[in-house]
Amino acid sequence: IHPGYGFLSENADFARACEKAGIIFIGPNSEVLGKMGDKLSAKEIALEAQVETIPGSTEPLKNAEDAIERAKSYGFPIILKAASGGGGRGMRACWSEEEVAPAFELVQSEARKAFGNDAIFMEKFLVEPKHIEVQILADKQGNTVHLFERDCSLQRRYQKVVEYTPAWSLPLEVRKSICDDAVKIAKTVKYENAGTVEFLVDKLSGNHYFIEMNPRIQVEHTVTEMVTGIDLVRAQILIADGAPLSDPLIGISGQDDISLNGYSIQCRITTEDPANNFAPDTGKITAYSSSGGNGIRLDGANTFVGSVISPYYDSLLVKVTSFDRSFEGAVRKSLRALNDTVIRGVKTNVGFIGNILN
């Protein structure tokens, strides 16, 4: 069973139930999933791998008063995070002592509803950092490689909107160091299958810090596939069935077999209203015309005329991924694809993304 990239893909109890029933869970085993799906546990593993983490609590906060005292010791701004969080949920930045208690209640409530776990921790909040993530592939034989990095700094409410690879704005030595650290963490926890290790790069010092690992395939895996030519989902299935990375259908005998060829950008078209603080919009799609052509990949199986957008699922409608030999070319293709996209019946963020790329 392939759990996709929703919440079940990081649910150790679900993976454990699959194992107990004799069903192959396409992802890491339940033990590793439990360790890396919990942000506090993942930080401990990063420290064990001698990878630097952002200063913060290493155990759940007891209550709002505990949060306030710790915030004073770290210095503002700080950020409160759900230990089992993901997808931008369960996070609040606080810039003063007065903001901590109400934010604590909000994060705890959101964490309880979204993840069934209201454990919260705290980190020092880095202002305008680069958010860099590294794609990992590891087989059951202990072979681990990275497929380079993605820059996912363009976000709204901690939810990624535009991602691209490579992270050309960072020095090459910083990018290499981040990728090496990602492999260290994966090897330390004996990771299997596809996963993504995430870092923040401080704007002032240039130092990078581990923040979390997403033990699953990610929405933005398409850009990595475009520049490496490796089908990550096929690799996931083969690895789960016991194939090594060197299997001809995966074709990775070692790190040197993986190379970057060009630039790729993914734009997430969502059913949200940018003019109303990105409030989710619902309704029936009455008109849909997508772009295409050279260098454009579309992932949007649920997008068609007559499709009903309900309030019960994620607002992601279609992913538009571009590829070109230059970053400027990838931008031009993305803009063309967005300009050619027609969606009626629900509000979308197409115009908002176009403004970002311009």
Report, as residue numbers or ranges, the catalytic residues: 216
Interatomic CA distance for residues 341 and 352, integer angstroms: 13
Q: What is the DSSP letter of 10?
A: G
- In the block, tokens 């705890």 appear at 108
Please name the residue ranges forming H helices in 134-207. 172-188
Question: Which residues are bridge partners to 263 per DSSP?
Answer: 324
Task: Give the DSSP letter of residue 186.
Answer: H
**Integer CA distances (angstroms), 232 to 1, 96, 135, 195, 286, in order:** 16, 43, 10, 10, 34
Hey, is 235 helix, strand or coil?
helix
Closest residue by Cα to residue 262 from 224, 220, 221, 319: 224
CB 189 within 8 A of CB 136: no
Q: Going along the chain, which residue ranges are E strands? A: 78-82, 91-94, 120-124, 130-138, 144-156, 159-165, 193-201, 208-214, 263-270, 272-273, 279-280, 283-284, 287-289, 296-299, 308-309, 316-324, 342-344
Q: Which residues of 239-259 are buried (b: 16+ CB within 10 A; e: fewer)?
A: bbeebebebeebebeeeeebe
17: Cβ contacts below 8 Å, ≥ 6 apart? none
* C-alpha radius of gyration, the chain, whole number: 20
**HSE (CB half, 13 Å, CA atoms) of 87?**
18
Are 47 and 205 in contact by the 8 Å Cβ rule? The answer is no
CB 304 within 8 A of CB 284: no
